[in-house]
Structure 1
Amino acid sequence: MATYRPVAPQAYHTGCRASLGQLYYHHQPWLQRLLCRRLGCDAAAADLAQDAFVRLMRTPRSFDCDEGVRAYLSRMAKGLCVDHWRRLDIERAWQESIAACADAGLPSVEHQQIVIETLCEIDRMLSRLPEKVATAFLGSQLQGKPYRQIAEELGVSERMVKKYMAQAMLQCALIEAGFEASL
């Protein structure tokens, strides 16, 4: 299986030296077609293909062969599609909640985008947490459940729920500080 590893920005390899521009020229149409098949939308596919190459530009890789490039881009495309679908789900839920509160007046488009982006960050944070930690966090913060009730539902001690909450709050603090952390 072909491998990839981080390298200096000017060193792109596909068997022999190739620039990012050459990688883009040779692989972007293929990647866009792959994304279009997965998404069913050429415009979204074009956006995500562009995002893939921006990520590759930010974090250069060295590839052993063209198959390695395509394997890497294929894995990246899968992740980009998942992120895209999750964002659509979040946007849909936000629009439904706005529609349910129509009498309260609509927030500005800018405010709506800020809320959606914040919800996406929270979703990314929750997806990185172990299931019980995320469940405890949501039970406490969204549903207002006391730790004792959460502990009973999860089959753990109340002390463990406190540890779960500390773990989730640390992730929130890191997001607030502008750091991404992985567990």
Structure 2
Amino acid sequence: MAVQTLESLYSEHHHWLQSWIRSRLNNVEQAQDLTQETFIKVLIKGREHEFNSPKAYLSSIARGLLVDFFRRRTVEQAYLDALEVQPEQHILSAEEHHLIIDTLLQIEHMLDTMSERGRQIFLLAQLDGLTFAEIGRQLNVSVTTVRKHFIRAMTQCLLLIED
């Protein structure tokens, strides 16, 4: 194993990494951005790194960034699709749009961290407007169980608001 500085890692693998990302995105500018983000993450982790395979290390970081990129793009497209069917409202600034997308991503992450039953109960209560008794009947669980899962979900929501 060899210790490699960020400078040598960048100079030796920047072009390869950008090509690797571009082949997955088919967009040069986004590939450039994600390549830079990858090296920023490397920089944040520390100046020198010891590893067997720099390409595996860099592609692992870039893969995580690509997942985040595609997730954000999916959420953003779903938001834009939902806006299209709504009555016309005032035009959002780029900052407002960005804040809404970030909030939706945080909500998606919060829902992903819930148990399957907790997520079902939360969504049935919040989106479908069902009472705890109705949810309990539908899921064949007690009202106490519904209440317990709903309280956990709302606690996660409150923690999200505090951030």
Question: Do Structure 1 and Structure 2 share a fold, with TM-score over 0.5?
Answer: yes
Report the counterpart of residue 80 of structure 1 in structure 2. Answer: 65
Report the counterpart of residue 40 of structure 2 in structure 1. Answer: 54
Report the counterpart of residue 63 of structure 1 in structure 2. Answer: 50
Report the counterpart of residue 161 of structure 1 in structure 2. Answer: 146
* Distance of 1:52 and 1:155 partners within structure 2: 47
Report the TM-score, using the length of structure 1 for normalisation. 0.74
List alignment gaps of at least 5 residues for structure 2: none
| Residues 105 and 143 of structure 1, relative CA distance in 2, 3 Å threshold | same
Give the CA deviation at 1:118.
0.9
Matched, 1:23 2:14: no
2:129 to 132, 137, 144: 144
Give the CA deviation at 1:117.
1.3
Report the counterpart of residue 102 of structure 2 in structure 1. Answer: 117
Q: In the TM superposition, what are the counterparts of 1:118-137 in structure 2 within 5 Å?
A: 118-137=103-122
* Distance of 1:134 and 1:72 partners within structure 2: 34
Give the CA deviation at 1:132.
2.4
| Residues 70 and 130 of structure 1, relative CA distance in 2, 3 Å threshold | farther
* Distance of 1:30 and 1:147 partners within structure 2: 55
Say which structure is richer in helix: 2
* Distance of 2:114 and 2:42 partners within structure 1: 26
* Distance of 1:169 and 1:112 partners within structure 2: 25
Q: Write the letter of the residue equivalent to 1:175.
A: L
Let me know the Cα RMSD of the aligned residues.
Answer: 2.3
Task: Give the match's secondary structure for 2:128.
Answer: coil
List alignment gaps of at least 5 residues for structure 1: 1-14, 179-183
Give the CA deviation at 1:98.
2.0
Task: Give the match's secondary structure for 2:129.
Answer: coil
Task: Give the match's secondary structure for 2:135.
Answer: helix
Give the CA deviation at 1:28.
2.4
Give the CA deviation at 1:36.
1.4
* Distance of 1:75 and 1:155 partners within structure 2: 43
Report the TM-score, using the length of structure 2 for normalisation. 0.82
8 Å Cα contact 1:98/1:106 also seen in 2: no
1:114-160 CA distances to partner (integer Å, 9 max, x unpaired)? 11111111112222223222222222222222223333444433322
Q: Write the letter of the residue equivalent to 1:17.
A: V
Q: Structure 1 vs Structure 2: percent identity of aligned residues?
A: 32
Matched, 1:98 2:83: yes
8 Å Cα contact 2:6/2:43 also seen in 1: yes
| Residues 18 and 75 of structure 1, relative CA distance in 2, 3 Å threshold | closer
